[in-house]
Amino acid sequence: MLHLIKTIINKVYIIFLMCFTVWYGFFLYPVIWGHGGADHDVDPTAATEANVDAEIAALLNEADMQEEQFASALREQGRIATTNLGYMVVEEEYVQGHFHHVGMTVEPDDSSLCIRCHGAIPHDKAKAIRAFLNMHAFYVACETCHIQPKTEGESWAFRWYDKKSGELISNPPGLTSLDKSMYGNYGAKIAPGRISSSGQFMFLNDEKERAFVEKYLQEKDRLGSTQQSKMKKVIHRRIDEDPLMCDGCHNDTSPYLPYDLLGYPKRRKQDLVGTEVAGMVAKYQEFYMPKFLLPGDNWKPEAPKPAAEKAEEDGAY
C-alpha cells in the first residue's frame, strides 16, 4: 500500500513539473523572442532601419566633433604665446587653457644700474628662499634693501620710477585698479632717494653715479683685474654687508616702506604687514627646510640604523 502511494505521488509530481514547464515556456517566449501577440509585433525591417539611422547619426555627430577639434587646432597653430619674465622673454606655441599662458608679464627694468651686471634675478646664494627674494626684485629696486641710511637721523624717501625710462612717476594705477590684467603689472619699481631743500625728490643713484657706471662698463675690458676691483669698490661703496631683512617691511608697527605714501590701498597694506609670511619671519629666525626639498644631487636618504642601536636610543636597554 505504501509503495502504491509513493508511485502515485511521483507521477503527480512529474505531471505537475511538465505542466509548469510548458506554462513557464509560454510565458517567457514573448520576452525572449519579442513576439508576444499582435499588440507587440514589430516589423524587423523597420527596427533594422531605425538602428542604422541611429548609428549613422552618431557617426556624423562624432565626425562633426572631430572636424571642429581639427579646425580649432588649425586656428591655434601658428599662434605664439610671448611671456616676458623680466629677465628673459619666452616664446612658445599657444595652447588655450595652458596654465603657463595666463597673460601675466613682467616688464624688464631697462634703467637699473644694478641689473646691468647682476641680472634681474640676482639672488642665488640662499637656495631655499631665493625665489622669494627674486620675486621682490620685480617691484623693489636693489637699493631699497641693500643701501640703508648710515647716520643717525638720516632717512630715505621712497618713490616709484618707470622701468623703461628710469624717470620718477606717480603711484602706478595697477595698485588700485579693479582690472585683473593690471594687477601686479605696475611697470615700475620702488627706489630710495632724498628730498632736497627745495622739496624735490632725487634718487640715490643720480646722473653722476649713472655716468660713472656707464663709463666703467665701456672701459672695463681695458682694465686689469686690480683696476676693475678698485672701480667695483667705488660703485659698491654704499652697499650694506647686512641687507634689510624681511621683517623690516613686513611688520605692522613701523614698516620700512611707507605703503600709504606709495599708493597701496588699505587692504593691500594689511596683507603686506600682517600676512603669514610676516609672522613666520618674526617667529622663526632660521628656515628649516626638509633635506629632500633642498636643491642638489648630493643628498641621499640616511641608511636605517641597526635594530640594537635604535632600541638603545629609544631607551629599550
Average pLDDT, integer, range 203-214: 88
Higher pLDDT, 70 or 203: 203
pLDDT at 316 over 50: no
Average pLDDT, integer, range 289-315: 56
pLDDT at 289 over 90: no
- What is the tens place of the pLDDT at every residue in 35-80? 444 444 545 555 555 666 677 667 667 666 766 665 665 555 556 6
Nearest Cα to Cα of residue 184 among 122, 138, 137, 144: 138
- What is the tens place of the pLDDT at every residue in 118-162? 888 888 887 767 778 888 888 899 999 999 998 888 889 999 999
pTM to 2 decimal places: 0.59
Contact 121, 87 (CB under 8 A): yes
Backbone angles phi, psi at 108, to 5 degrees: -70, 150
* CA angle at 235 for the pair 230 and 239, rounded to the nearest 5°: 115
pLDDT at 168 over 90: yes
Average pLDDT, the chain: 76
